[in-house]
Amino acid sequence: MIYSAILPAQAAGGADVIGVAGVYRSAFYSGDTVTDVTLVAPAGFVTVTGAATNNATFTVRHLRAGVVQQSFASLTLTAGTNLAAEMPLTVPITVAPVLQADDVIDVQVRQNGAGLAVGAGVIAAVYVS
């Protein structure tokens, strides 16, 4: 099962934005283990060049009944980590979430320091099997 969110644009230094990737439902063909998380920007996306201090962080979160249980994957656009059109970035999984029916997976984009402008349309995909 793949859960995905298409994220809105965010101005440098702007307020957090959140995109809901989906509601977990167990099924006979899938499991409850998050195996991969990726980000990919759409065609024509203006490259976001990572920076050491003024950057942006993408965090994948697990919610139950509207309450964040944990953040389980995170990627910061630091120096050398750039977000470019149609170039997937792997988001490291930091902890394995224990998913239950009706849990929500979302993606939060947070600006650090002066931040980085992030264009609209970045797709965050969470693979569960």
Does the residue 113 lie in any domain? yes
69-117 pLDDT tens trace: 999 999 999 999 999 999 999 999 999 998 999 999 999 999 999 999 9
Does the residue 64 lie in any domain? no
Q: In what order do the strands lie in the sheet with 104-112?
A: 17-23, 104-112, 55-64, 67-76
Q: Is 30's pLDDT higher than 80?
A: no
Q: Which domain holds residue 120?
A: 2-57+72-128
As a whole number, mean pLDDT of residues 8-21 equals 97
Write the DSSP string, 62-103.
EEETTEEEEEEEEEE--TT--B-BT--EEPPB-S-----TT-
Does the residue 16 lie in any domain? yes
Question: How many domains does the chain divide into?
Answer: 1
Does the residue 66 lie in any domain? no
Mean pLDDT in the chain? 95
pLDDT band at 32 (very low <50, low <70, confident <90, very high): confident
Cα 99 to Cα 64: distance, rounded to the nearest angstrom:
9
Share of the chain above pLDDT 90, in %: 91
pTM of the model: 0.95
Q: Is 13's pLDDT higher than 90?
A: yes
